Amino acid sequence: MTSSHWGAFEVDVEGGRIVATRPFSEDPHPSRIPDILPAAVHHHTRVARPSVRRGWLETRRGGGRGSDEFVELPWDEALDMAAQEIDRVRRTHGNEAIFGGSYGWGSAGRFHHAQSQVHRFLNSIGGYVASAGSYSTGCAQAIMPHVLGCNFLTFLYEYQDGWPTIHDNTETLVMFGGINAKNAQVSMGGVTEHETTGWFERFAAKDMRCINVGPQRGDAPEGCEWLPVRPGSDTALMLALAHVLEDEGLNDHAFLARCTVGFERFRPYLMGESDGTPKSPEWAAPICGVAPEAIRELARRMAATRTFITLAWSLQRAEHGEQPYWMSAVLAAMLGQVGLPGGGVGYGYGAIGGVGKSLKRVRGMTLPQLQNPIETVIPVARIGDMLRHPGEPYDFNGRRGPYPDIRLIYWAGGNPYHHHQDLNALQEAWQRPETIIVNEPWWTATAKRADIVFPATTPYEREDIGRTNLDDYLFHMPQLVPPVGEARDDYAIFAGLAERLGAGPTFTEGRDAEEWIAGLYDDYRANAAREGVEVPDLETLKERNWVRLPVREDGPNRRYLAPFREDPEGARLGTPSGRIEIFSEAIDGFGYDDCPGHPVWLPPSEWLGAAGAEAPLHLVSPQPGDKLHSQLESALADVEGARPETLVIHPEDAAARGVATGDLLRVFNARGACRARALVSEGIHRGVVALPTGAWFGDPGTNIDPDGNPNVLTRDMGTSRLGQGCSAHTALVEVARLSA
């Protein structure tokens, strides 16, 4: 038995190979993702030995990444070479020239957490340029503290209502972007009991009205109502709902006066007094594609019942993603239910399986990362800009500063050629640094575009502990099979480099992996005891393989907005005013035209309202249902008919292009092109197409990405100067049938 980001599963091993996986008995709705695992772990695309790109080996130059062949070297030689190069760069240019942001999910397991390992290593040798935020919620992490006054991730995981509270209290659940059981399959660090589907069965049984507001019917479980809206237009719809509340006297002015600031600065915009455009249902209808009467009916319903508004993270993974997030809090405040059980607003239910679980938290099992002497940090999704514009200033959440001049990139546990937008542009910018080093189990597009590749083990080839505060299980993850090829653990790779760079003792503290795991485990166990949670000792856990911890609690997630609602003065929020900020003096003071002092409707540069003949369809690129991002893709791509990826298209758009289900397509815009396989469906808004992420980016030199990676089409731009998040969902494309 082992744990993973997609849950726990049993593993059958024969002759040193994983031959099958089976669901964990305690999981009511196990994920099917592990089915493909045996084929992936032993796949021919595993990196067998340390490998160095021939062009770099011969010239030490950056050009040619992605097209050169690789030369395999013995470990010692490759480690010597990498250490010498890191040393050269830090001596010549300083540690400020090393980018170690190294974003990505890597794998579950606490000690062998690749990001912690690479950050600890780089800190032990003088530091690195880090990245802040995430592709998941970077924009929300910037905007929401201005509005709600607390760290967004703390709000998500500790303050929002849990499923039981929603079940017991909510009458109307309005889900912008849906609540998706497919996405709740995974959760960072593990999700043992997959609960989302079960909760929706219970919601249906008690006649909770669940409304999925978004471009795809399938974003919410069956039985939910679907209110189709155009992508990128949610803010307009929310403004119109707010307009109805104000217009019809349903706005809770008493709550606004007690618990918010700035409604009087927002109201003239809402009612059209400041710009001559009332944000009425008639105004919003052509923008979002929802009829005025349906908007009115929804607003009245929301005011008349206990209403919980939820937003998928996807809404802020788009240009001006700050606006729907901010506006949702304003709408919830106008309804006056913020802080009531099962009322108000919450974010990311269904985005990952851990959101909504009501659990007591215990700190620990985290590898200390040491201090980073380098203070330069970029917003994570701005890596392309950083490489293109060294030394040039950019704005981020009220600060302005230059991008660093990066000479060396180290990546472990992430796949930028999966996660970044406009991959053709990234590939060009990627040629600039002098050296790129990657630790990877598989020959991903990122590994193929590196200069030095170290083969890393997968979790099944090493021992670890599985735990997260978003789950109530604790796992011993035994080593199940020997390392594939000559793969080594990230810890061993970094220990080898640190030693060569004179930082061996700082990095390892004289401990091997087993000693680290035992030490981290004991600290965690002591923390748990202080919290009154009994955790078995490591030997007992090893024998039992897993335990369920007594950390479930009903409604612990009510410790922020509920007390604030009761006593706004005594339990002030962390905003400058101590209240929910409908108008933010701080944001207004930044002077950003792309994120002014209160929520506004700002049309994105690419959406159906701006569609032209060249690119008439809005592309959304959601998470894949059959895997986690680009992981396990090598084996999935082998399945007959699985690639290129499936693109969902509305029947009218398909008919206009002579496209039928199963047809091979070319999906394209000015940034690039990929292949896809058509699935014609009524479950998608007309004018919208959906192509999941996760297909591996192809080799350079093809003008059409063969397997269907949507990031050849997406736009690489910040959400705004405030959030600088990833704008993956803002893209227009055209689709055509490919012959044969």
Residues labelled as active-site residues: 103, 105
The residue range among 131-139, 210-218, 229-237, 251-259 that interacts with Mo ion, by the rule CB under 5 A, is 131-139
Q: Which does 729 bind (CB under 5 to 8 A by kind): Mo ion, ligand MGD, none?
A: ligand MGD
The residue range among 49-57, 227-235, 670-678, 716-724 that interacts with ligand MGD, by the rule CB under 6 A, is 227-235
Q: From the CB of 257, what's the least distance to ligand MGD, in Å?
A: 31
Q: Which residues from 318-377 bind ligand MGD, rule CB under 6 A?
A: 318, 351-352
Q: From the CB of 727, what's the least distance to ligand MGD, in Å?
A: 9
d(C-alpha 404, C-alpha 387), whole Å: 8
Q: Which does 105 bind (CB under 5 to 8 A by kind): Mo ion, ligand MGD, none?
A: ligand MGD
Residue 93 CB partners (closer than 8 Å, separation 6+): 405, 407
Q: Does 464 bind ligand MGD (CB under 6 A)?
A: no
Q: Does 317 bind ligand MGD (CB under 6 A)?
A: yes
Residue of 369, 541, 368, 354 whose CA lies nearest to 466: 541
Q: Does 630 bind Mo ion (CB under 5 A)?
A: no
Q: Does 412 bind ligand MGD (CB under 6 A)?
A: yes
- The count of C-alpha atoms lying within 13 angstroms of the C-alpha of 506, restricted to the half-sphere facing its C-beta, is 19
Q: From the CB of 677, what's the least distance to ligand MGD, in Å?
A: 18
Q: Does 406 bind ligand MGD (CB under 6 A)?
A: no
Q: Which residues from 640-659 bind ligand MGD, rule CB under 6 A?
A: none
Nearer to ligand MGD, 139 or 503 (CB): 139
Burial of 682 (0-12, 13-18, 19+ CB in 10 A): exposed
Residue pair 527/365 in contact by the 8 Å Cβ criterion? no
Nearer to Mo ion, 136 or 192 (CB): 136
Residue pair 712/704 in contact by the 8 Å Cβ criterion? no
Three-state SS string over 8-69 comes to CEEEEEECCEEEEEEECCCCCCCCCHHHHHHHHHCCCCECCCCEEEHHHHHHCCCCCCCCCC
d(C-alpha 558, C-alpha 323), whole Å: 25
Residue 153 Cα to chain centre, angstroms: 12
Q: From the CB of 352, what's the least distance to Mo ion, in Å?
A: 8
Q: Does 315 bind ligand MGD (CB under 6 A)?
A: yes
Q: From the CB of 579, what's the least distance to ligand MGD, in Å?
A: 28
Nearer to ligand MGD, 47 or 340 (CB): 47
For the chain, how long is the longest CA-to-CA vector?
Answer: 75
In the block, tokens 């704005």 appear at: 395
Q: Which residues from 132-171 bind Mo ion, rule CB under 5 A?
A: 136
Three-state SS string over 263-290 comes to HHHHHHHHHCCCCCCCCCHHHHHHHHCC
d(C-alpha 562, C-alpha 354), whole Å: 22
Q: Does 214 bind ligand MGD (CB under 6 A)?
A: yes
Q: How many contiguous H segments (helices) and E segments (strands) does the chain have?
A: 27, 28
Question: What DSSP designation does 381 have?
Answer: G
Q: Which does 693 bind (CB under 5 to 8 A by kind): Mo ion, ligand MGD, none?
A: ligand MGD
Q: Does 419 bind ligand MGD (CB under 6 A)?
A: yes
Q: Which does 718 bind (CB under 5 to 8 A by kind): ligand MGD, Mo ion, none?
A: none
d(C-alpha 13, C-alpha 696), whole Å: 28
Of the candidate residues 182, 407, 643, 675, the single one contacting ligand MGD (CB under 6 A): 182
Q: From the CB of 36, what's the least distance to ligand MGD, in Å?
A: 12
Residue pair 697/626 in contact by the 8 Å Cβ criterion? no
Q: Does 636 bind ligand MGD (CB under 6 A)?
A: no
Q: Which does 665 bind (CB under 5 to 8 A by kind): Mo ion, ligand MGD, none?
A: none
Binding mask 88-117 for ligand MGD (x = CB under 6 A): ----------------xxxx----x-x---
Q: Which two tokens stand for residue 476?
A: 């011993």
Residue pair 495/479 in contact by the 8 Å Cβ criterion? no
Residue 512 CB partners (closer than 8 Å, separation 6+): none
Q: Which does 231 bind (CB under 5 to 8 A by kind): ligand MGD, Mo ion, none?
A: ligand MGD
Residue 160 Cα to chain centre, angstroms: 18
Residue of 221, 533, 485 whose CA lies nearest to 359: 533
Nearer to ligand MGD, 454 or 473 (CB): 454
Strands 344-347 and 546-548: unpaired
# binding residues, ligand MGD (CB under 6 A): 64
Q: From the CB of 135, what's the least distance to Mo ion, in Å?
A: 5
Q: Which does 177 bind (CB under 5 to 8 A by kind): ligand MGD, Mo ion, none?
A: ligand MGD
Nearer to ligand MGD, 578 or 603 (CB): 603
Nearer to ligand MGD, 237 or 334 (CB): 237
Q: Does 231 bind ligand MGD (CB under 6 A)?
A: yes
Amino acid at 71: V
Q: Does 170 bind ligand MGD (CB under 6 A)?
A: no
Nearer to ligand MGD, 142 or 728 (CB): 728
Q: Which three-class secondary structure state does DSSP give residue 97?
A: helix
Residue of 434, 436, 438, 421 whose CA lies nearest to 385: 421
Q: Which three-class secondary structure state does DSSP give residue 213?
A: strand
Binding mask 244-283 for ligand MGD (x = CB under 6 A): ----------------------------------------
Residue 642 CB partners (closer than 8 Å, separation 6+): 636
Q: Does 730 bind Mo ion (CB under 5 A)?
A: no
The residue range among 157-165, 166-174, 231-239, 516-524 that interacts with ligand MGD, by the rule CB under 6 A, is 231-239
Of the candidate residues 121, 163, 313, 403, the single one contacting ligand MGD (CB under 6 A): 313
Q: Does 136 bind ligand MGD (CB under 6 A)?
A: yes
Query: Closest-CB residue for Mo ion?
Result: 136
Residue of 626, 666, 629 whose CA lies nearest to 644: 666
Q: From the CB of 605, what's the least distance to Mo ion, in Å?
A: 23
Residue of 364, 365, 360 whose CA lies nearest to 532: 360
Residue pair 719/706 in contact by the 8 Å Cβ criterion? no
Q: Which does 487 bind (CB under 5 to 8 A by kind): Mo ion, ligand MGD, none?
A: none
d(C-alpha 674, C-alpha 667), whole Å: 5
Residue of 266, 182, 207, 121 whose CA lies nearest to 601: 266
Q: From the CB of 136, what's the least distance to Mo ion, in Å?
A: 3
Nearer to ligand MGD, 116 or 575 (CB): 116
Residue of 356, 319, 400 whose CA lies nearest to 718: 319
CB atoms within 10 A of CB 60: 12
Q: From the CB of 423, what's the least distance to Mo ion, in Å?
A: 17
d(C-alpha 285, C-alpha 41), whole Å: 50
Nearer to ligand MGD, 234 or 463 (CB): 234
Nearer to ligand MGD, 229 or 383 (CB): 229
Q: Does 440 bind ligand MGD (CB under 6 A)?
A: yes
Binding site for Mo ion (CB under 5 A): 136
Binding site for ligand MGD (CB under 6 A): 104-107, 112, 114, 135-136, 176-178, 180, 182-183, 185-186, 213-216, 219, 229, 231-232, 234, 312-315, 317-318, 351-352, 412-415, 418-419, 439-442, 444, 456, 458, 490, 620-625, 628-631, 690, 693, 710-711, 714, 728-729
